[in-house]
Structure 1
Amino acid sequence: MPDTKVKTVNIQRKQTTLVGQLYYHADGRQHPTIIFCPGLGEDVSFVAGYAQQLAASGYTVYTFDFSGGSITGWSTGSTLEMSIFTEADDLRRVVRVLRQRPEVDASQLYLAGESQGGAVAAMVANDLNQQIAGLLLLYPAFIIPDDARKHYQDIDAIPEKIPHAFMAVGRAYYEPLLNYDIYAHLFDFTRPVLIIHGEADRVVPISYSRRAARYYAQATLRPIPGAGHGFYGRNEQVAIQLMLAFLSQSQSNL
């Protein structure tokens, strides 16, 4: 079992401070690295269980709070200014900085995320393609643009402040989604993709992940029977084992 350590690593993006936790190893060597993104309204504590177990299996793992992504996170920024596009900018900055760190094997850098964090990870992987070795997506929220269009048919109908996910978001969240096709921003990513999705998910139906899997050159969709939007207990352990098997196979093919 590797000797795993954790330290706070903050990253600056313009006027924003992104606060994160780096899980690393005492051996001083570079390890395959996973950047794990929490979902909307979540902070790093929501993905800490995944980070701890992946790190215990030999990976460097970085988790961070998106700017404005929750009311409990430590990163600066307003929830009223947050969107999947600002979160994508946050993640691109994190990738640039993490690639230079001594604990990180930049040739084996993976993006992971749950719900909205999974959708954002997918968007950024599509843009960075050759810098990212693979994607691990837990119930990714590819429903977000459809959900926006269901609530608002035109920009003028969007309020300045909208209750959403136990907090308030602003026009900036919904306005750019009305004409956005998220699936058009997936298929340039050619590396391996693992999608894990609960078959009983009522927040993001598994049909969204089934569709996404058809866009990727190398996608594996692993449904979890009976699981909803979020994995707990046995389902969380199933997801971790699926991720570890995927990572092992992906590295053997590098």
Structure 2
Amino acid sequence: MQPNVGRTVGGGPWATRSAPTAAERGMVTYVFDFCGGGNYSQSDWQDNMSFFTEQHDLESAAWELSREPFVDERNLFLCGASLGATVTLTVARANAQIVKGCALLYPAFNPHDAVRAACPNRDDIPDSFPVMGMNVSGDFLRSCYDYDFYEHIPAFPRDVATA
């Protein structure tokens, strides 16, 4: 049985180029943009994008993909890069009943610490802030301020590969 891979945000053009290679090897792949994604995003921008709206986007995609007749729902893996890897692991942890494992490419587990270092007081988080050539919303920054990824990482009971 070949694995099915839901490929999430991160890696820019690399993500789109990797899907055909996986498909040639018999894997079902699905690449998507988070609503309000990053510099390589082709989706519509959402000013209220947060870590948790990205989690919801990926959960919706994973559940829909798992219901397709050509997908082995017992063999679903998620893959993400950078912040997408962080979202991937969070979704895998919350949906361990359908996610068999995940691959995390250069995961960004530091947003919690980075936001707290930049704004020690949550009430001082601005409505918008430039990060890596784009403006992210205060909603996104507050979601990262509130969610310590390291508290939740150990809860996923399946295999995780990192690169």
* 1:178-214 Cα distance to aligned partner (Å, 9 max, x none): 2322122222211111011xxxxxxxxxxxxxxxxxx
* 1:98-157 Cα distance to aligned partner (Å, 9 max, x none): 111122111100010000000000000000112111110111001111111111111221
Once the two structures are superposed, the pairs formed by residues 215-226 of structure 1 within 5 Å of their partners are none
The correspondence for 1:91, drawn from 58, 63, 70, is: 58
* Separation in 2, partners of 1:83, 1:46: 24
1:33 counterpart = 2:1: no
CA contact 1:133–1:192 (8 Å) conserved in 2 = yes
Matched residue, 1:62: 30
Higher RCO (CA 8 Å, separation ≥ 6 residues): 2
Q: What TM-score results when the alignment is normalised by the length of structure 2?
A: 0.91
- Any stretches of 5+ residues in structure 1 without a counterpart? 1-29, 197-254
Matched residue, 2:74: 107
Once the two structures are superposed, the pairs formed by residues 47-58 of structure 1 within 5 Å of their partners are 47-58=15-26
Superposition deviation, residue 167 in structure 1:
1.2
Matched residue, 1:133: 100
CA contact 2:77–2:100 (8 Å) conserved in 1 = yes
**Secondary structure of the residue that 1:178 maps to in structure 2?**
helix
- Residue 74 and residue 179 in structure 1: after superposition, are their counterparts in 2 closer, same or farther (change >3 A)? closer
Counterpart residue type for residue 151 of structure 1:
A
Matched residue, 2:122: 155
Counterpart residue type for residue 61 of structure 1:
T
CA contact 1:32–1:106 (8 Å) conserved in 2 = no
1:121 counterpart = 2:88: yes
Task: Tell me the number of residue pairs that the alignment of Structure 1 and Structure 2 aligns.
Answer: 163
Matched residue, 1:81: 48
CA contact 1:119–1:142 (8 Å) conserved in 2 = yes
Matched residue, 1:182: 149
Which segments of structure 1 move beyond 6 Å, counting only runs of 4 or more?
A: none
User: Which of the two has greater strand per residue?
Assistant: 1
Counterpart residue type for residue 94 of structure 1:
A
Counterpart residue type for residue 41 of structure 2:
G
* Separation in 1, partners of 2:126, 2:35: 21
Counterpart residue type for residue 38 of structure 1:
V
CA contact 1:34–1:62 (8 Å) conserved in 2 = yes
Deviates more, 1:172-181 or 1:148-157: 172-181
* Separation in 1, partners of 2:41, 2:154: 31
- Any stretches of 5+ residues in structure 2 without a counterpart? none
* Separation in 1, partners of 2:43, 2:144: 24
Superposition deviation, residue 87 in structure 1:
0.5
Percent of aligned positions that are identical = 33
Q: What TM-score results when the alignment is normalised by the length of structure 1?
A: 0.60
* Separation in 2, partners of 1:127, 1:72: 27
1:165 counterpart = 2:132: yes
